[in-house]
Amino acid sequence: MLDKQLDEVEARFDELGSLMGDPDIAADAPRYRAIAQEHDRLEETVLAWRDLKKARQERDAARVLLEDRDEDMREMAKLELAELDAQIPDLEQRLRILLLPRDPNDERNIILEIRAGAGGDEASLFAGDLFRMYTRFAQTLGWQIEVLSTSESEVGGFKEVVAQVNGDEVYAKLKYEAGVHRVQRVPATEAQGRIHTSTCTVAVMPEAEEVEVNIRPEDLRIDVYRSSGKGGQSVNTTDSAVRLTHLPTGMVVTCQDERSQTKNKSRAMKVLAARLLDVERAKAHSAEAEERRSQVGTGDRSERIRTYNFPQNRLTDHRIGLTLYHLDKVVEGIGLGEVINACTQYFNAELLKQQESA
């Protein structure tokens, strides 16, 4: 069954490769882009399938050599067979995971929300550190980040920062970042050198498309007011800030970073649409919603998915039992990919277990 599925994937991959060489398709940019994206999505699976077929062929050849008259050849065949017998199950497991149904939101852009939790000023500083970490990670992948809304703290960092992240498979890579992130370090303001513990919450929501969320004008209350905090002169002297209240849900979104009231309203609508879509997804997938709530929690110190321990340069992801001792690289965005890949592999393996036991 697995082999048949993989043969079909490989045939589709080859077909797409041929289509990409068709001049008529190459001249049709939207169609070519769609074909190229599907081809790219299948490439990892096809390469792994070809590796598995090659390993199986080499195993068959090694088994034949076990009957060779030459003792050295037989010993060499035994060693090769042992390696292949260990390699093939790993390849088969990897392919089962690659064949799992894709989350329909994986290719979407996201709305990223980071909020300071427990810990006062230090939590705000940590929120700033997390936002910088995700920004630098995004830059390594060629993604674009647009800040939609900020609430800065007096000591630096953010009480809250909301941003849109655009790029290839953003949601697929960042969806497991949702939850409470805990930091342990000595704050700059701590005279006694004591380690403090603070938290931030991270929410990752797929960007909503207009056809998915119908926000009726009569369901909105729109308030405009004068911006406060940092900004250009006109930001603080005109009623450019916008507060949207979604009356059916009581959901409130504010935006004041732009000088233009129109731009602030547009940004606030993006955030509101993403939040409403997230609510609808939660209703449709109650188990997923419970998992998300258990990840994000309230921001209390006792709830966390990950701990950033600066004195020991240690990062621990409590969900998957991962511990790394190069926290400095992770918070700079350089080493975050290693953590994200480990989370993705773990949760894919868990999903596979659920499917096999169903």
In angstroms, the CA 208 to CA 206 distance is 6
Tens of pLDDT, residue by residue over 301-324, are 446 899 999 999 999 999 999 999
In angstroms, the CA 251 to CA 22 distance is 50
Is there a contact between 146 and 211 (Cβ–Cβ < 8 Å)? no
What does the pLDDT read at residue 294?
46
In angstroms, the CA 129 to CA 87 distance is 40
What does the pLDDT read at residue 259?
75
Average of pLDDT values for 284-297? 50
Angle at alpha carbon of residue 166, lines to 211 and 108, rounded to 5°: 45
Q: In the structure encoding, which two tokens stand for residue 313, read together?
A: 């340069």
Mean pLDDT of the chain: 87
pLDDT above 70: residue 297 = no
Rg of the chain in Å (alpha carbons): 25
Which of 347, 313, 325 has its CA nearest to residue 179? 347
What does the pLDDT read at residue 234?
41
For residue 111, the cross-strand partners are: 164, 205
Tens of pLDDT, residue by residue over 27-59, are 999 999 999 989 998 999 999 999 999 999 999
CA 228, chain centre distance (Å) = 32
pLDDT above 90: residue 125 = yes
What does the pLDDT read at residue 284?
65
Domains of the chain: 2-98 (1.20.58), 105-358 (3.30.70.1660)
What does the pLDDT read at residue 232?
42
Tens of pLDDT, residue by residue over 169-221, are 999 999 999 999 999 998 876 667 788 999 999 999 998 876 567 888 888 89
Which of 100, 105, 93 has its CA nearest to residue 288? 105
What does the pLDDT read at residue 292?
42
What does the pLDDT read at residue 241?
86
Neighbouring CB atoms inside 10 A of 1's CB total 5
What does the pLDDT read at residue 110?
94
For 51-116, the three-class secondary structure string (H helix, E strand, C coil) is HHHHHHHHHHHHHHHCCCCCHHHHHHHHHHHHHHHHHHHHHHHHHHHHCCCCCCCCCCCEEEEEEE
Q: How far is CA 182 from CA 304, 308, 314, in A?
A: 6, 6, 12
Dihedrals φ, ψ of 176, to 5°? -85, 5
3-state secondary structure of 115: strand
Average of pLDDT values for 13-34? 93
In angstroms, the CA 304 to CA 287 distance is 19
User: Residue 262 — pLDDT band, cuts 50, 70, 90?
Assistant: confident
